[in-house]
Amino acid sequence: MDADSTCPMTLGIFLRIISEAAEEDRLNGKNMSRAQSRERITPYWRVIKDDGSLNPKFAGGVESHAKLLRKEGHKITPGKGKKPPKVAEFEKVLVS
C-alpha cells in the first residue's frame, strides 16, 4: 500500500523515539560508520524538515543534530530568532 501523506504529529513522535534509540545504541558501542553495517545505528540525523531546518526534538537537540551533519560534510547556517539552524543547499543532496 502506498501512502501519499502521514500524520506530522505521529511522524514526529516516532522520529524522536528513533533518535533516542539510535543514541542509546551509539553509547552502547554500535558504530555510525558504513564500514560496519551489521553494527550500524540508524542515521536519524539525515532527516531534516522540508525547509532544511534541524529538529530540536532529536536526541541532543539541534546542537547534536548539526554536529552529526557537519561530520558528514554538510554546512549548517545559524537559526534566526526562535527558528532552528538549517542545512545549507540541502536541495542538492535530497534523495527521491
Q: Tell me if 78 is assigned to some domain.
A: yes
Q: Tell me if 36 is assigned to some domain.
A: yes
Q: Tell me if 48 is assigned to some domain.
A: yes
User: Residue 37: which pLDDT band, with cuts at 50, 70 and 90?
Assistant: low
Domain count, the chain: 1
Q: Which domain holds residue 51?
A: 8-93
Q: Tell me if 30 is assigned to some domain.
A: yes
Q: Tell me if 77 is assigned to some domain.
A: yes
Please determine, for residue 35, whether its predicted confidence score (pLDDT) is greater than 90. Answer: no
Q: Tell me if 1 is assigned to some domain.
A: no
Instruction: Using the CB atoms, write b or e for 15-39: b if 16+ within 10 Å.
Output: eeebbeebbebeeeeeebeeeeeee
Q: Tell me if 3 is assigned to some domain.
A: no
For residue 67, what pLDDT is reported?
Answer: 95
pLDDT per residue as tens digits for the range 50-72: 899 999 999 999 999 999 999 99
Instruction: Enter the pTM of the model.
Output: 0.79
For residue 4, what pLDDT is reported?
Answer: 77
Q: Tell me if 82 is assigned to some domain.
A: yes
